[in-house]
Copies of this chain bind each other. A is one copy, B any other.
Amino acid sequence: MVKYPSGSLAAFRKPVQKKPTLKRSYHHKKGVNFSDRGMTLEQQINESNKYYLSEEIAVVHKKPTPIQIVKVDYPKRSKAVIREAYFRQASTTDYNGVYQGYYLDFEAKETKNKTNFPLKNFHEHQIYHLDECLKQQGICFTIIGFTSLDRYFVTPASFVIQAWKTKNKSSLTLKEIEDHSVEIKSGFHPTLPYIEAVDHFIKDRKRLNGK
């Protein structure tokens, strides 16, 4: 039997390191829930936004991660390559857009926890930004995904901000979230129908404004 070099050498070869698949994002890597066809919360929202855009229901986009670029190479006959860059602190939430004249602004977070949502998941700049947008009468909220339970809640930012600012309060219980949110069911088109919850918030606002 002929021993081909490739065969005989195979045992000594260093295991091929598979090139990592290009990652679209570095967030929400944990907590993948296979009941949602393996999609992270972020992916579900992005899918939903694509659907809302194509159906002309709403225009909502995820903001790119802010990057501080230090060095860029411009190879001949090839596109520019960033060779040195750093992640910067964002100054807003991840998502904003427009729906029927309303400004939407929200942050999405997921947890594997089954009984409560740790408030430290929200960063100060996100809370500050939601607060500022509320002052401008935006429709501001959070989407909290309990991935182990496959449950998704759209919670008004005002409630989250209040809890976040409460001394010695480190988390929201599931009960608190249930009581103050609109629960949405993960589905097909859109994957996560959060605009349903927005409709509730708009109705509430109109009722409060007496029209």
Binding site for B on A (CB under 8 A): 20, 22-24, 26, 53, 56, 58-59, 61, 63-70, 72, 79-88, 90-92, 96-103, 105, 129, 132-133, 135-138
Shortest CB distance A63–B (Å)? 6
Contact B80 A83 (CB under 8 A): no
Q: Work out how many copies of this chain go into the complex.
A: 2
A67 / chain B contacts, CB cutoff of 8 Å: 64-65, 67, 82, 85
Residue in contact with A129 in the complex, picked from B59, B84, B86, B132, CB distance below 8 Å: B59
Contact A56 B135 (CB under 8 A): yes
A137 vs B80: C-alpha distance when bound (angstroms): 37
Shortest CB distance A210–B (Å)? 16
In the assembled complex, 17 residue pairs joining A and B whose CB atoms fall closer than 8 Å, in A order, are A22-B70, A22-B86, A23-B70, A26-B69, A26-B72, A64-B64, A64-B65, A64-B88, A65-B67, A67-B67, A80-B86, A82-B86, A85-B85, A96-B97, A101-B103, A101-B138, A103-B103
A211 vs B169: C-alpha distance when bound (angstroms): 45
Contact B59 A132 (CB under 8 A): yes
Contact A64 B63 (CB under 8 A): yes
Known contacts A61-B92, A101-B103; A53/B132 CB under 8 A: yes
A23 vs B67: C-alpha distance when bound (angstroms): 11
A136 vs B97: C-alpha distance when bound (angstroms): 10
A91 / chain B contacts, CB cutoff of 8 Å: 61
Contact B83 A87 (CB under 8 A): no
Contact A69 B23 (CB under 8 A): yes
A96 vs B80: C-alpha distance when bound (angstroms): 27
